[in-house]
Structures are given as C-alpha cells and as structure tokens.
C-alpha cells in the first residue's frame, strides 16, 4: 500500500523546509520501508540547502536516523517488519571492490558524489502534490516513512533507545571511526581536532578511547570547550586568540608537531592547517568534514614529500552493515556515551528551528 504521511520537503535551495503530505510507495524488490522514529540534524544536510553539496530538488533530506521496519519488498532477508533499524547513507552491497577489500568501506552503490537522488533502480518512492521528490544519499530521514535499499539498512538491538542511537547513523560513527579506523590513533600519541561539532566531539572520544595522551581541540566557538574537555580534550584553543597561523601555534604547543590531526569542518584552509601541524615525517592528517563543492586546494607538495599521510574518511571507515549493529551493542554495554552529543530534542515539525540552532553553533 502507498502510505500518506508528513515529510519535510525542501523545494529549492536557501529556503526553509516545508512540512507537506507525501505519498511513500511500497518497497520494491530488495527494498525496505521504515517508520522513522528519531533523526539527527547534520551539517551535510545544511550543505545541500546552501548549495555546497549539489543535489537535485525537490528533495527530502536527512541521513542520521533510527526507526522500525514497516514492510519489506521481495527477496529481503536481513530485516523483517517490527525490527529496529538504522538506515545507512553508505550502503554495504558486499559485492563491489570496496566491500570485498578489508581496507575499504565506501560501497560503489552509494549515492554520495553522484547526486542522482534516486533509488538504485533509477526511480523515486516519494510523491508530493503530484511531483516526484528526490531521495538524499539513499536514506531521506526527514519524513515519517522512508524507503531504502536492503544494502542500506542495519538491524540493531531491539532494546536500543532510538532517540540516542540514531547518532550512530552518521555523526558519532563518522568521528569515532576517523580516529579508531582511519587514523588508527596509537596510545600515548598527540592529536589535534579542528571543529567541535557533534562529529568533532566524536573524534575526541575516539582519540581518548585509543589512548592518546594529549588531545588538542581547536574551534573559534569557545562555548564548545567545556564539552570537549568533558569528553577527553586536554587542551582547547581558538585561532582567534592568536595573531599567527594556527598550525604554528600547535607546533609550538607540542614541541614540534602532533602525531594525528583531524579536519572536521569542511573548509579548505583548515584542511591545510591540519596537514601542516602534523609531524612532517610520520604524521597522519584525516579529512572528515565534507569538502565544499567547486573548491580546490593549493598546497606546498613538500608537506607530503617528507612523509606525512593525508587521508579521507567517509562514515569513519566502518563497513556500515557490519559495524553499525556492533557499535549499537557497544553503546548498550556503555563503552561510549552519546548523551553529551545531544543538545536539543525538538518535535520534528520544528525542523527549521533545529537548523537555526545548528547554524548558530548551539
């Protein structure tokens, strides 16, 4: 059956979301229809609104969520109606080169970077006012019901609190994994984290779990410092307090350099600063923030020639379908906490207020 429900539709760029009645088609073969219970707001959603991440309109955004399976299409074996699940914006098809390689996690079936906004079969499951509405990176969670491909959903512990573990669908896993999986932070090392939003704070948590002895948090918003320290940061600095480049400040603070650095903002200038502050021969710098569209980086290649590694990390390097249930299990065993990452809980019809809070750094 087609389900009629409410969704936050973005009709065009730089406009607020509009709460509309949409029609959600039933799942086709190897697809799953999910009742969304909780959804986080992520900067990547905002990137679409302002045009920094190019997607087709009209679109239903949202990609960090948790819900309950409502129905499944033919051939679906990994979940059944009633299961608690997390949709995966990085799917895991199990067949492409990245899925088959132990080092890879960016499945070729992802819609990231293609901007197609459609299901794998090239069509959409959403209609509003007679118009087809595009999907967002295979998830589209700012709606009461969504349809995802079976490769883009993970079944989780039925006792998990969905309003907390929804963060494992993006922000937490992305930051935590960037430290543990991508950088492989070592005990006793020194780390610098640029950007202290939810993902940056999750990087701090990952560095702490990995045993880093010094974690330097960098942000221009000092309101973020108390929480960063609560989660494991040993030092917090704002570039606004210095009249020299921040990478020079970090080099002085650490008597030479950091071992690992993380850019968790999505700005080209901070990406280069993060690269420059890590150890010239064996330092590792990881780009976690989504790079802005149409911007290029110019940098001195000597920064890499001396031996530094510059890496990118999507979804924390986790193989999504395998890792998400395990991360939820770790949360249930209290191996990490999510509460400090949740600042506000709003009814979802107040989604525009939620984005205002995001933009003002609150």
What is the DSSP secondary-structure string of 36-105? Answer: EEEE---HHHHHHHHTSS---SSB-----EEEEEEEE-TT--S--TT-EEEE-SS---SSSHHHHSTT--
Our CA angle for 208, 213, 218, nearest 5°, is 70
List, in order, residues 6 or more apart from 282 with CB less than 8 Å away: 259, 307, 308
- At 226, which helix (H) or strand (E)? helix 225-230
> For residues 141 and 153, is the Cβ–Cβ distance under 8 A?
no
Given the DSSP bridges, would you call strands 18-24 and 3-9 parallel, antiparallel or unpaired? Answer: antiparallel
Q: Which of 42, 99, 191, 236 is catalytic?
A: 42
Return d(Cα 136, Cα 159) in angstroms, integer: 28
Residue 95 sits at φ, ψ, to 5 deg, of -125, -25
82/67 Cα distance (integer angstroms): 9
Catalytic residue among 93, 107, 166, 170: 170
- Could you tell me the sign of the dihedral formed by the alpha carbons of 243, 248, 251, 255, in that order? negative
User: Is residue 5 among the annotated active site residues?
Assistant: no
Residue 170 annotated in active site: yes
User: What's the CA gap between 280 and 303, in Å, rounded?
Assistant: 7
H or E, element range at 133: strand 131-133
Of the candidates 39, 47, 166, 207, the residue annotated as catalytic is: 47
Helices 268-277, 246-253: crossing angle, 10 deg rounding? 20
Phi-psi region of 303 (alpha: psi -120 to 50; beta: other; left: phi over 0): alpha
Which member of 39, 63, 202, 261 is catalytic? 63
Q: Is 191 a catalytic residue?
A: no
Element (H, E) at 148: strand 145-149
Which residues lie below 8 Å from residue 68, measured CB to CB, with a gap of 6+?
Answer: 34, 35, 37, 82, 83, 84, 85, 162
Query: Sign of dihedral through CA atoms 38, 40, 41, 47?
Result: negative
Specify the DSSP element, H or E, that contains 303.
helix 302-305
The answer to whether residue 44 is catalytic is yes
Residues with a catalytic annotation lie at: 42, 44, 47, 63, 170
């Amino acid at each position: 059956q087609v389900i009629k429900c409410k969704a936050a539709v973005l009709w065009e760029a730089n406009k607020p979301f509009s709460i509309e009645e949409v029609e959600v088609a039933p799942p086709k073969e190897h697809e799953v229809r999910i009742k969304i219970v909780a959804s986080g707001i992520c900067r990547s959603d905002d990137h679409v609104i302002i045009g920094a991440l190019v997607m087709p309109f009209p679109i239903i955004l949202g990609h960090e969520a948790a819900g309950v399976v409502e129905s499944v299409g033919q051939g679906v074996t990994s979940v059944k109606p009633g299961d608690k699940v997390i949709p995966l914006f990085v799917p895991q098809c199990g067949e492409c080169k990245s899925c088959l390689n132990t080092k890879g996690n960016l499945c070729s079936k992802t819609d990231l970077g293609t901007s197609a906004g459609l299901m794998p079969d090239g069509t959409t499951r959403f209609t509003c006012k007679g118009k087809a509405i595009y999907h967002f990176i295979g998830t589209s969670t700012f709606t009461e019901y969504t349809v995802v491909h079976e490769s883009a959903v993970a079944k989780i512990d039925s006792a998990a609190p969905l309003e907390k573990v929804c963060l494992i669908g993006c922000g937490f896993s992305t930051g935590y994994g960037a430290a543990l999986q991508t950088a492989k932070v070592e005990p006793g090392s020194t780390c610098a984290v640029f950007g202290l939003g939810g993902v940056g704070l999750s990087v701090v948590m990952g560095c702490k779990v990995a045993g880093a002895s010094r974690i330097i948090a960098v942000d221009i918003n000092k309101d973020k410092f108390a929480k960063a320290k609560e989660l494991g940061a040993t030092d917090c600095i704002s570039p606004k307090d210095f009249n020299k480049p921040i990478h020079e400040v970090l080099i002085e603070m650490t008597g030479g350099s950091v071992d690992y650095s993380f850019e968790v903002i999505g700005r080209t200038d901070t990406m280069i600063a993060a690269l420059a502050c890590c150890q010239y021969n064996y330092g590792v710098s990881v780009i976690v923030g989504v790079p802005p569209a149409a911007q290029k980086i110019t940098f001195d290649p000597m920064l890499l020639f001396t031996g530094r590694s510059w890496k990118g990390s999507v979804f924390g390097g986790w193989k999504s379908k395998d890792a998400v249930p395990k991360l939820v299990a770790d949360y249930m065993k209290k191996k990490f906490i999510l509460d400090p990452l949740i600042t506000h809980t709003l009814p979802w019809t107040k989604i525009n207020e939620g984005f205002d809070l995001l933009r003002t750094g609150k």
